[in-house]
């Protein structure tokens, strides 16, 4: 697994794991998958730290680890806090994409990238290949995994890729001239919310 200290923190989400539907395209996936993509799961809302008109633009991204942890503590059902971190070489491009979309509004991801910091301590789960497009972060899992089997690329027990090499291969396969989405590997880490242990593994 890659050293998380070499990656730059980009943001936090709070919510449940994604439970894949029973279908051919989800065959072989774990029963519950850690993801930061709101294409796959419904995350917890942000709090009063954002103005009401900002919330639809900024969610599901929490302002900080503390805000994400507070969001989890406010709900009775199981939820977790995940962070997304990116390679230093990705920071400039992702920042530019964010600013093209939202200009200088204080989106949590944009704020984190503007003040580069390492990932806070937590359990490193693996890599999720994400694609940024008009304010949303899509997951490679939205496309199914069938096309990667012949390359030996399969998610680990947390539903994430276990090596940066595999994640980079997925980026190459998804990045086509017909797709305007910018794909990149993101390191996903789970953080303690002091509300009981959550079983995690790569």
Buried residues in 25-42 as b, exposed as e (16+ CB within 10 A): ebeebbebbbbbbbebbe
Query: Does the predicted TM-score (pTM) go above 0.85?
Result: yes
d(CA 82, CA 125): 9
d(CA 105, CA 122): 29
Q: Is residue 46 part of a domain?
A: yes
Q: Give the CA radius of gyration of the chain.
A: 16
Domain residues for the domain of 66 are: 4-191
Q: Is residue 42 part of a domain?
A: yes
Q: Is residue 47 part of a domain?
A: yes
Helix, strand or coil for residue 149? helix
Q: Is residue 200 part of a domain?
A: no
State in Å, rounded, how far the first CA of the chain is from the last one: 9
Q: Is residue 196 part of a domain?
A: no
Q: Is residue 168 part of a domain?
A: yes
pLDDT in tens for each of the 202 residues of the chain? 566 678 999 999 999 999 999 888 887 889 999 999 999 999 999 988 999 999 999 999 999 999 999 999 999 998 999 999 999 999 999 999 999 999 999 999 999 999 999 999 999 999 999 999 888 899 999 877 666 777 888 888 889 999 999 999 999 988 876 678 899 999 999 999 875 433 333 3
Overall number of domains in the chain: 1
């Amino acid at each position: 697994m890659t050293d998380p200290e070499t990656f730059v923190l980009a943001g936090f989400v709070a919510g449940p794991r994604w439970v894949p539907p029973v279908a051919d395209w989800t065959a072989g996936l774990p029963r519950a998958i850690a993801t930061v993509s709101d294409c796959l799961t419904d995350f917890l809302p942000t709090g009063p730290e954002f103005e009401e008109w900002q919330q639809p633009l900024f969610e599901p991204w929490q302002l900080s680890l503390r805000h994400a942890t507070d969001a989890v503590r406010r709900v009775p059902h199981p939820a977790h806090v995940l962070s997304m971190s990116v390679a230093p070489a990705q920071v400039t491009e992702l920042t530019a994409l964010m600013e093209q979309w939202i200009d200088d509004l204080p989106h949590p991801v944009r704020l984190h990238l503007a003040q580069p910091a390492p990932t806070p301590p937590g359990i490193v789960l693996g890599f999720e290949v994400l694609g940024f497009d008009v304010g949303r972060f899509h997951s490679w899992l939205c496309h199914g995994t069938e096309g990667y089997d012949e390359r030996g690329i399969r998610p680990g027990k947390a539903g994430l890729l276990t090596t940066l090499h595999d994640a980079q291969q997925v980026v190459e396969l998804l990045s086509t001239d017909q797709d305007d989405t910018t794909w990149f590997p993101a390191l996903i880490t789970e953080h303690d919310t002091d509300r009981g242990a959550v079983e995690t593994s790569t």
